[in-house]
Amino acid sequence: MSFSSDIKEEISMVNNYKNKKLLEAELLGYILTGNSIASDKYIEFVTENEFNIERFYKILFNLNIDYDPEIKGKVFVARLNKDAALDEVLKVQFEDDEEIKKAIVKGAFLGAGTVIDPNKQYHLEIVFLDKSNALYISNLCAMFGISIKILEDKKYILYIKDGEEISKFLALIGATKGVLSFEDVRVTREIKNNVNRKVNCETANLNKVVNASVNQINDINFIKKMKKFDELPEYLKEIARVRLEFPDMPLKDLGQQLDKPLGKSGVNHRLQKIHEIAEELRK
């Protein structure tokens, strides 16, 4: 199974069927999404996920809402009559209760949500056909401190690409095991990324040292080629000899090889003087 299916399986197993208000809230979340199509008389919920449809059927059964089940190939369809029972579900969105709001968001994710395996990338989304429904769920998420964005195309897609925000969302809808699994991957990825950044930084610094050293040695050899090395002041000849002897050594360590140790800036100053002399000779 996919990571997304694992999450849906986990939150579908929650047994809260005796709490009518939470069931109504969760059902509302389902029917607000892009997998629900409304007509004058019916609301059809369509899904390929077996956990979605099993949970959906159980909610309808426990709320005494009539429906017609149908299977079209790999697609499950549940057709609900627009009646008084369904009207009660639609009223839930106006109730000011945190658990009800969480249940609505949970239902929306079950209805048309997807979360990609964090080993591949951080991405969670919920698809809607109606912009107002998308904004409604977005506002609910914002109430719980979750930053979620909206993409407008032929449909309206709420999405999260930040690992920490996805983790908060999964916790909100009650996917405890999913959060632990997601965080385990996220922490491992962060450690690897930090190590890679450090290695890349150290590699870049090493390349910088090597390139600078090559240029410095080229300057010294050019001065020798032009028979001008012996004309250099003794302090420049000394640093030149040390550089030739230790071509890969950083400036800070190079200065410690002198008869009178010198700091990094002092060494750099002397090598810069050699470079200026070499440039004058190249003209």
Structure letter (DSSP) for residue 229: G
Do the domain assignments include residue 184? no
Domain end marker among 174, 204, 234: 174
Please report, in tens digits, the pLDDT of each residue of the chain (283 residues total).
Answer: 788 888 998 988 888 888 899 999 999 999 999 888 888 788 888 888 887 888 888 998 898 888 888 888 888 888 888 777 777 888 888 888 999 999 999 999 999 999 999 888 999 999 999 999 999 999 999 999 999 999 998 899 999 999 899 999 999 999 989 888 888 888 887 777 776 777 667 667 767 777 777 888 888 888 888 888 888 888 888 888 888 888 878 888 888 888 888 888 888 888 888 888 888 888 7
Domain check: are 125 and 232 in the same one?
no
Number of compact structural domains in the chain:
2
CB 232 within 8 A of CB 220: no
The runs of H, that is alpha helices, within 33-161 are 50-62, 84-91, 98-112, 131-143
Q: Which domain holds residue 46?
A: 3-174
CA distances from 98 to 8, 11, 42, 149, 230 (A): 21, 17, 29, 21, 84
**Whether the Cβ atoms of residue 258 and residue 239 lie closer than 8 Å to each other:** yes
Give CA–CA dist 275/212, Å, rounded.
Answer: 11
CB 109 within 8 A of CB 10: no
Last residue of a domain, one of 112, 142, 174: 174
Is 178 in contact with 6 (CB distance < 8 Å)? yes
